[in-house]
């Protein structure tokens, strides 16, 4: 007997055919993912459950129009969009990404910082995952260069390798990472952005 769970793609295809059971299976599979994503920023149970319900109701109502390739990615993007809206709709936002925001005259500064912090958090996670795919020595050299700001000569001396080896490893890391962040000028800026946010405690 085959007990293989149906894929997200198969379930959503069934949803598009008005299959309520398939919709319930997708809801049960992912509602908590959406809730935790929203709650990590908003810290408000009622608002986050509202976001979960809004997203899934929208999926059901527009099932015939939606073309979802990766269901989990779609839900993550939808949750992030609604988190932004929740922050902007609430002048006393529970998301406190900057200190002493009461002293700011323009609340849009708070919202912009909130959105930047959410994006930076995801950027950190994405970069961490990609760096883990690099060879250990390549990752170490890249971090020493772009985060610790050591010169190639300093890295070579610390690791007892040639300066040329350092240059080759950095080049390898940049070539691997850059296609994943096409909307940023350089991978160097990504690392600096992450470092700045880390120092700010965001």
How far is C-alpha 3 from the chain's CA centre? 33
pLDDT over 50 at 59, yes or no: yes
Name the token pair of 152: 């190639």
What pLDDT does residue 119 have?
A: 55
Residue that wins the pLDDT comparison between 100 and 33: 33
- pLDDT of 69-128, one tens digit each? 888 888 988 888 888 888 877 754 444 433 333 333 333 333 344 445 555 555 666 677
Q: Which residue has the tokens 């950190």?
A: 124
Report the CATH architecture of 117-202: Orthogonal Bundle (1.10)
What pLDDT does residue 179 have?
A: 76
Contact 166, 156 (CB under 8 A): yes
- pLDDT of 66-75, one tens digit each? 888 888 888 9
- The CATH class for the domain spanning 1-95 reads mainly alpha
| Helix orientation angle between 136-146 and 152-159, rounded to the nearest 10 degrees | 140
Q: Which residue has the tokens 């939808």?
A: 78
Q: What is the mean pLDDT of residues 171-180?
A: 80
Least-confidence region, from 89-93, 130-134, 147-151, 183-187: 183-187
What pLDDT does residue 19 have?
A: 95
What pLDDT does residue 151 have?
A: 87
Q: Can you tell me the distance from the alpha carbon of 126 to that of 128, in angstroms, rounded to the nearest whole number?
A: 5
By the 10 Å C-beta count (0-12 exposed, 13-18 middle, 19+ buried), 82 is classed as buried
Domain boundaries, the chain: 1-95, 117-202
């Amino acid at each position: 007997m085959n007990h293989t769970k149906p894929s997200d793609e198969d379930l959503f295809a069934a949803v598009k055919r008005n299959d309520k059971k398939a919709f319930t299976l997708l809801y049960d599979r992912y509602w908590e993912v959406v809730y935790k994503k929203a709650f990590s920023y908003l810290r408000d149970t009622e608002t986050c459950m509202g976001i979960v319900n809004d997203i899934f109701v929208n999926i059901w109502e527009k099932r015939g129009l939606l073309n979802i390739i990766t269901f989990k990615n779609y839900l993550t993007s939808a949750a992030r969009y609604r988190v932004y809206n929740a922050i902007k709709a609430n002048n006393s936002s529970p998301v406190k990404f900057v200190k002493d925001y009461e002293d700011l005259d323009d609340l849009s500064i708070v919202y912009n910082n909130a959105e930047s912090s959410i994006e930076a958090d995801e950027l950190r996670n994405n970069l961490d995952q990609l760096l883990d795919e690099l060879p250990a020595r390549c990752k170490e050299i890249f971090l020493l260069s772009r985060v610790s700001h050591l010169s190639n000569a300093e890295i070579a001396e610390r690791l007892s390798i040639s300066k040329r080896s350092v240059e080759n490893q950095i080049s390898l890391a940049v070539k691997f990472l850059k296609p994943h962040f096409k909307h940023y000028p350089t991978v160097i800026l990504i690392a600096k952005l992450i470092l700045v946010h880390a120092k700010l405690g965001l």
